[in-house]
Amino acid sequence: MSDAALDVVEFLLTASLYNDNRTLDENDLPPRYRQVFWPDGTTESTDRDRPGSDDSPLGIERPIRPTIETARRATGVENPWSAISGLMFSDRDEFSGSLELTQADMAQEWFLERGEDRVLHNPVLAYAFEDAVDGADYEAARDANRPVQADRAWIDGLLSEYFADEEEEEMLDLVDIRAPEEIETTLDDLVLTEDQEAEIHKIVKAIEHREYLAQIGLREIGKLLFVGPPGTGKTSTARALAYDLDLPFVEVKLSMITSQYLGETAKNVEKVFEVAKRLSPCILFMDEFDFVAKTRASDEHAAIKRAVNTLLKSIDNISLIQDDVLLIGATNHPDQLDAAAWRRFDEIVNFPKPDEGMRSDILRLITRPMDIVDFDPDELAEETEGLTGSDLRMVLREAVLDALTEERTALTQEDFVEAIEDFEERDHLKDMDMIEGDHDALVAGGDISGSASADGGHSHDH
């Protein structure tokens, strides 16, 4: 029997067992199944302690009814009925397109003979067959399952409920909210320093043991400041942490939130923290944190100064231990931060430009899916002193595009050497003073290389 049949039967079996066991909730459904059963509307309550309760926002109502379409979306099997139509225990309703298992015992026996290993990773199946399958552990399967609060549908439902009127909805334009499933970078995709890895490990442990930390009164934990030049991976690392921890990622650029809706700036800052608390547990990432110090030291508009003071107070009043919000600030200019900004953070994580060994590791990582003749990343690392991870990706892009102009998809070491030379030449042009009479040429050169210096999460990533 094909894997397609096994995929579809697992889906149908999971739906049937979920309907029969009222102690199970949405956190027991595998995310790929859960996503096809989210309703479009929401309920009025926001009791999120029990996602499976009748009071949960955007709850999945029982019974869940598998159809050909939901089976296709949940399993990726293009023709789900064709995959199982030969099984004696399967049936479909031609009018509604619904699928069902007509003989539950026979379906379970068939599945366990062929897909026992799948039980270990599916909480619904682990719950039902914990005694029948060696190694099946319901609690372990549930803990490993991505929580419902990380689903895009759940996030959207909560936000539409909380920001019901149009004026409040404008606030969401000032923040970028990503579900973990929408983040492409993981911590395994990054090349980090030992210090960075140690700090991340500490914060992961703090998140795991929040109750213990609260019990002993250690509450000033979970406010990190990432410092370093553009392109060194501050944003990438924050996002990857959200992916690995299955946490919604709320990103805000401080210069933007205090430059729009000037009369509402302090209110907007408060709303950002309200969004984070509503979505908790989550990561709140505040980029351009040096904007705080620059504003405090200048003659900026009084409304903006009020907003900055509101921001500092809001940081004081949010906690990983009490509110389940991990706060990460980031700055390219730590020298511009004043004491009031520094003391808000309990950990400072440095993101320096990568040394030669790190550059070699980055090159190995970002070229993994590529075919390269005589590839020597150590040699290239020697030739790229001062380049960031983001710069190295620009070099890679240039080498690939140059090869494609010659109708080649296999690269050579020489392609990279030439791309490095071209990158350094453009970087030099970018730093030149404007030459009178040749403005357009130099602006074009600056545009070509400008994106290489953006932090954009491309440092030691992919």
87-107 residue pLDDT tens: 999 999 989 999 999 999 999
Preceding amide of 281 cis, omega within 30: yes
Say if residue 195 is in the same domain as residue 210.
Answer: yes
Q: Specify if 156 maps to a domain.
A: no
Point out the least confidently predicted range of 244-248, 260-264, 330-334, 366-370: 260-264
Asked whether the beta carbons of 233 and 389 are under 8 A apart, the reply is yes
User: How many domains does the chain fold into?
Assistant: 3
Instruction: Report percent pLDDT > 90 for the chain.
Output: 59
| Termini Cα distance of the chain | 37
pLDDT digits 0-9 by tens, 200-220 = 999 999 998 988 998 998 877
Asked whether the beta carbons of 46 and 57 are under 8 A apart, the reply is yes
pLDDT confidence bin for 198, thresholds 50/70/90 = very high
Point out the least confidently predicted range of 51-60, 150-159, 313-322: 51-60
Say if residue 51 is in the same domain as residue 133.
Answer: yes
Say if residue 25 is in the same domain as residue 100.
Answer: yes
- What gap in Å lies between CA 345 and CA 95, rounded to an integer? 60
Q: What share of the chain is helix, strand, coil (3-state, %, to 5)?
A: 55, 10, 35
What pLDDT, on the 0 to 100 scale, is given for residue 100?
Answer: 94
Residue 234 sits in which domain range? 163-350
Say if residue 233 is in the same domain as residue 268.
Answer: yes
- Read off the tokens for 298: 């200048």
What pLDDT, on the 0 to 100 scale, is given for residue 450?
Answer: 37
Q: Which CATH number covers residue 260?
A: 3.40.50.300
**What is the arithmetic mean of pLDDT over 358-362?**
95
Q: Specify if 289 maps to a domain.
A: yes
Preceding amide of 354 cis, omega within 30: no
Q: Is the pLDDT of residue 451 over 90?
A: no
Residue that terminates a domain, selected from 104, 121, 147: 147
pLDDT digits 0-9 by tens, 42-53 = 333 334 343 444
Say if residue 205 is in the same domain as residue 309.
Answer: yes
Q: Specify if 158 maps to a domain.
A: no
pLDDT confidence bin for 58, thresholds 50/70/90 = low
pLDDT confidence bin for 156, thresholds 50/70/90 = confident
- What gap in Å lies between CA 5 and CA 449, rounded to an integer? 51
Say if residue 248 is in the same domain as residue 174.
Answer: yes
* Residues 6 or more apart whose Cβ sits within 8 Å of residue 335: none
What pLDDT, on the 0 to 100 scale, is given for residue 424?
Answer: 86
Q: Specify if 28 maps to a domain.
A: yes
Say if residue 176 is in the same domain as residue 275.
Answer: yes
What pLDDT, on the 0 to 100 scale, is given for residue 40?
Answer: 63
Say if residue 28 is in the same domain as residue 88.
Answer: yes
CB atoms within 10 A of CB 113: 9
Point out the least confidently predicted range of 257-271, 296-310, 347-361, 396-410: 257-271
Residue in this structure with the two tokens 């209110």, named with its chain if needed: 267
Residue that terminates a domain, selected from 112, 147, 182: 147
**What is the arithmetic mean of pLDDT over 236-261?**
84
Say if residue 251 is in the same domain as residue 108.
Answer: no
Q: Specify if 459 maps to a domain.
A: no
**What is the arithmetic mean of pLDDT over 100-128?**
95
Q: Specify if 27 maps to a domain.
A: yes
Phi, psi of 45 (to 5 degrees): -85, 155
Say if residue 209 is in the same domain as residue 263.
Answer: yes
Q: Is the pLDDT of residue 286 over 60?
A: yes
Q: Is the pLDDT of residue 438 over 60?
A: no
> CB burial class (10 A; 0-12, 13-18, 19+) of residue 332?
buried
Q: Where are the beta strands (DSSP E) in 219-317?
A: 223-227, 249-253, 282-287
- What gap in Å lies between CA 381 and CA 364, rounded to an integer? 10
Amino acid at 258: T
Our measurement of the distance from residue 366's CA atom to the centroid of its chain's CA atoms, rounded to an integer in Å, reads 19
